[in-house]
């Protein structure tokens, strides 16, 4: 044998197949994975952990690409270029068809605010960076049913893995025997990074390739183990394979939907999938009872089914502003299955088999052309505010109101460089006598304005890194009592002497005892407290709800909301705040935004025809301006006199 054909040493020469043979059982595992995902998205309370199907897909991907390409690439029997072209043939054509249909549906069915959000994820698709877009927008479970392309985050992770896979092989050059040791080290590092990030940034662990690397690597190691084993036969092996598949199913049925990643659930699912793949590979063609034609077929169309199942339910909810009933969900699933079948037979198979676009250059031109069109369409939608020109001018203000979102907590780079930081400086001013804004998304939307005012008065202003509510720490590990202690310790170190607590404070979760206990802790650090009551909130203030109503009946309403009802809405929190002020005297005070948002006893939805809110509970730039005098007064009391330094 020549050096070129001797192999890399990962697989014994006598076990090294000339061509990867088809293993039907792998399609059974694919079917289980995609069914778990679909049932989770359509019936989340029935299959609460079904999203683990994506974890299983990652293990399968690592295994399958290894069977077809790992040994040939490492032994110079094929090239990385051929590998990447094959991956493009597999992933891109069906994806671009889904993007085309989804974009037409988005333009036709959804409102500008949702179309803008859609365009942000669409523009990242050709570059396989959509997981960064969704990571920046928040947790996977946050507003999921508003994002038609949310499920494509996993394609980005897989594509990014392929890049690392190729770069690693290139860097090894003549030392390709080091591939497995390096892969093992990287996989262990990936797992530990994910564990470390779980309490700090759950969404990072969920969406990012470095914390998913170990799952794809596990598939590669499963292949290497299978390739070194002798063929296994008999009912015991078949039973073990069935048990592993059952374990994968159980991981989706029996675990909580909102657990951290990685968790016992992902370990069970991925470990079971890896063992099942090994057994399938060594027992192929010997009548394992799992070889049922329907499941095998679902496995073959699983990629298209994964792509097609999610956009219909999201477009349904966005277009009709309600969840589908049981019958409608069945119809949507049936439609996705039909689309996946058509995609498989008319797009995927013809291109994979080279009946269409047989030349490598043809695939490249197709991908480049489709990518350019996707980028151009995305840019057009973003530049027009979600094609807001489709609506009457007076209604356009209602849609543009949703774009005035403010900043989103502490800068990402700061959080990466300072993973243990619980607060970040948001002003140019530095030094002692600083102010810490402690709160949730309601603090986020005020961050930019508060920073500008604080800079005007030369007062350092900080923001807490996590979205947590004073009085509600200890409800979950992400916002624990230890986190509050860390926030206050760091604030004290930075010279913070005043905290402004800004949240919505859901009244059903508030208790006087818990709130005052955490106030006692805060005051114990020598820091004074100012609490801002929640702003008026509810569907009445949502500009999109008003726009929908106007489109339905042709009447655009600008009426107000009775302040007395607003005060009644806040009765529980106002009583708790008032009791806290009475107990702690001058060290605790309360800001009342209702005095500025509700003049003449009416809470205003708009200012000069422009909505004050970007949704049902968050102020936009117009609404924030109404609170500016309140905060200017607050900061002025923290200086030697009431005039800003520039006016002294």
- Write the pLDDT tens digit of every residue in 538-575: 989 999 999 998 998 888 888 888 999 999 999 999 99
- The conformation of residue 66, written as its DSSP 8-state character, comes to I
Higher pLDDT, 121 or 74: 121
Is residue 442 within 8 Å of 618, Cβ to Cβ? yes
At residue 35's C-alpha, the angle toward residues 31 and 38, to 5°, is 140
Residue 14: pLDDT over 60: no
Residue 335 has pLDDT above 90, yes or no: yes
* 82 token code pair: 């051929």
Q: Comparing 166-170, 253-257, 486-490, which segment has the lowest mean pLDDT?
A: 253-257
Tens-digit pLDDT profile for residues 514-537: 999 999 999 999 999 999 999 999
Does the structure show a pLDDT above 80 at 267? yes
Say yes or no to pLDDT of 8 above 80. Answer: no
Q: Return the minimum-mean-pLDDT range out of 190-199, 291-300, 591-600.
A: 291-300
- Quick one: CA dihedral 266, 37, 134, 617, positive or negative? negative
Residue 561, both tokens:
């909301």
Is the Cβ–Cβ distance between 350 and 356 less than 8 Å?
yes
Alpha-carbon gap, residue 587 to 606, rounded angstroms: 35
What pLDDT is attached to residue 254?
A: 84
* pLDDT for position 410: 85
Residues shown for the chain? 648
d(CA 72, CA 74): 6
pLDDT of residue 647: 35
Q: Check whether 94 has a pLDDT greater than 70.
A: yes
Does 218 score more than 80 pLDDT?
A: yes
Confidence of residue 227 (pLDDT cuts 50, 70, 90): confident
Structure confidence at residue 400 (pLDDT): 87
Task: Name the residue with tokens 């993007």.
Answer: 99
- What residue spans of 344-480 are helical by DSSP H? 349-352, 360-383, 393-400, 412-417, 441-456
Rounded to whole angstroms, how far apart are CA atoms 353 and 227? 26
pLDDT in tens, 385-409: 999 999 988 889 888 888 755 556 7
* Whether the Cβ atoms of residue 429 and residue 461 lie closer than 8 Å to each other: yes
Closest CA to 338 of 309, 315, 314, 311: 309
Q: pLDDT digits over 336-392, tens only?
A: 999 999 999 999 999 998 888 888 788 889 999 999 999 999 999 999 999 999 998
Q: Parallel, antiparallel, or unpaired: how do β-strands 588-591 and 528-532 relate? A: parallel
pLDDT above 60: residue 412: yes
Burial (Cβ within 10 Å: 0-12, 13-18, ≥19) of residue 636: middle
73 has pLDDT over 90: no
The reported pTM is 0.83
- Enumerate the β-bridge partners of residue 461: 435
Using 50, 70 and 90 to split pLDDT, how confident is the model at 644?
A: very low
Cβ neighbors of 299 (< 8 A, separation 6 or more) are 26, 27, 28, 29, 30, 31, 34
106 CB-contact burial (10 Å; exposed 0-12 / middle 13-18 / buried 19+)? buried
Secondary structure in 3-state letters for 246-314: HHHHHHHHCCCCCCCCCCHHHHHHHHHHHHHHHHHHHHCCCCCCCCCHHHHHHHHCHHHHHHHHHHHHH
113 burial type by CB count under 10 A (0-12 exposed, 13-18 middle, 19+ buried): buried
pLDDT at 459 over 90: yes
First to last CA, the chain: 89
Average pLDDT over the chain, rounded to an integer: 88
530 phi/psi in degrees, rounded to 5: -120, 130
- Using DSSP bridges, classify how beta strands 606-607 and 610-611 pair: parallel, antiparallel or unpaired: antiparallel
User: How far is Cα 304 from Cα 583, in angstroms, rounded to an integer?
Assistant: 62
């Amino acid at each position: 044998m020549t050096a070129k054909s001797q192999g890399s040493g990962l697989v014994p020469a006598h076990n090294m197949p000339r061509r990867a043979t088809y293993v039907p059982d792998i399609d059974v595992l694919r079917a289980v994975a995609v069914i778990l995902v679909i049932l989770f998205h359509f019936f989340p309370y029935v299959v609460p952990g079904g999203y683990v199907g994506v974890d299983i897909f990652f293990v399968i991907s690592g295994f399958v690409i290894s069977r077809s390409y790992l040994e040939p690439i490492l032994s110079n029997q094929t090239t990385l270029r051929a590998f990447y072209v094959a991956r493009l043939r597999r992933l891109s054509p069906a994806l671009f068809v889904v993007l085309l249909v989804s974009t037409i549906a988005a333009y036709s069915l959804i409102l500008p605010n949702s179309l803008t959000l859609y365009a942000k994820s669409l523009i990242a698709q050709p570059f396989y960076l959509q997981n960064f877009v969704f990571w920046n927008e928040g947790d996977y479970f946050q507003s999921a049913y508003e994002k038609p392309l949310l499920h494509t985050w996993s394609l980005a992770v897989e594509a990014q893995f392929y890049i690392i896979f190729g770069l690693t092989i290139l860097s090894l050059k003549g030392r390709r025997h080091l591939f497995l040791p390096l892969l093992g080290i990287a996989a262990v590092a990936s797992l530990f990074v994910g564990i470390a990030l779980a309490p700090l940034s759950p969404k990072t662990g969920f969406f990012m390739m470095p914390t998913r690397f170990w799952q794809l690597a596990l598939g590669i190691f499963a292949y290497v183990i299978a390739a070194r084993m002798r063929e296994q036969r008999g009912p015991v092996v078949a039973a073990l394979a069935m048990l592993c598949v059952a374990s994968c199913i159980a991981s989706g049925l029996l675990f909580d939907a909102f657990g951290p990643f990685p968790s016992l659930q992902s370990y069970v699912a991925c470990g079971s999938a890896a063992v099942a793949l090994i057994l399938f590979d060594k027992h192929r063609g010997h009548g394992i009872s799992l070889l049922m034609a329907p499941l095998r077929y679902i496995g073959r169309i699983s990629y298209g089914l994964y792509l097609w199942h999610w956009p219909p339910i999201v477009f349904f909810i966005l277009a009709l502003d309600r969840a589908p009933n049981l019958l409608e969900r069945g119809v949507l699933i049936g439609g996705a299955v039909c689309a996946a079948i058509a995609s498989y037979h008319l797009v995927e198979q013809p291109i994979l088999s080279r009946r269409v676009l047989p030349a490598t250059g043809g695939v490249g031109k197709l991908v480049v052309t489709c990518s350019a069109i996707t980028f151009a369409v995305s840019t057009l939608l973003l530049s027009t505010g979600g094609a807001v020109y489709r609506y009457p001018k007076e209604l356009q203000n209602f849609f543009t109101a949703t774009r005035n979102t403010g900043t989103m907590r502490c800068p990402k780079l700061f959080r990466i460089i300072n993973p243990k930081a619980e607060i970040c400086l948001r002003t140019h001013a530095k030094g002692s006598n600083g102010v810490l804004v402690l709160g949730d998304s309601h603090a986020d939307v005020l961050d930019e304005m508060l920073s500008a005012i604080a800079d005007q008065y030369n007062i350092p202003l900080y923001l807490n890194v996590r979205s947590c509510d004073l009085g509600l720490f200890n409800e979950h590990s992400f916002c624990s009592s230890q986190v509050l202690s860390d926030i206050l310790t760091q604030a004290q170190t930075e010279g913070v002497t005043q905290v402004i607590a800004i949240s919505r404070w859901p009244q059903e979760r508030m208790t006087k005892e818990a709130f005052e206990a955490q106030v006692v802790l805060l005051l114990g650090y020598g820091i004074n407290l100012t609490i801002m009551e929640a702003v008026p909130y509810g569907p009445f203030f949502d500009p999109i709800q008003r726009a929908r109503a106007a489109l339905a009946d042709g009447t655009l309403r600008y009426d107000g909301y009775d302040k007395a009802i607003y005060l009644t809405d806040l009765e529980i929190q106002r009583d708790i705040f008032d009791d806290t002020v009475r107990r702690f005297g001058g060290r605790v005070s309360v800001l009342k935004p209702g005095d500025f948002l509700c003049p003449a006893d009416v809470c205003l939805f708009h200012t000069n025809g422009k909505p004050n809110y970007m949704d049902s509970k968050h102020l936009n730039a117009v609404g924030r301006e109404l609170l500016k005098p309140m905060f200017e007064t607050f900061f002025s009391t923290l200086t030697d006199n009431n005039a800003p330094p520039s006016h002294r």
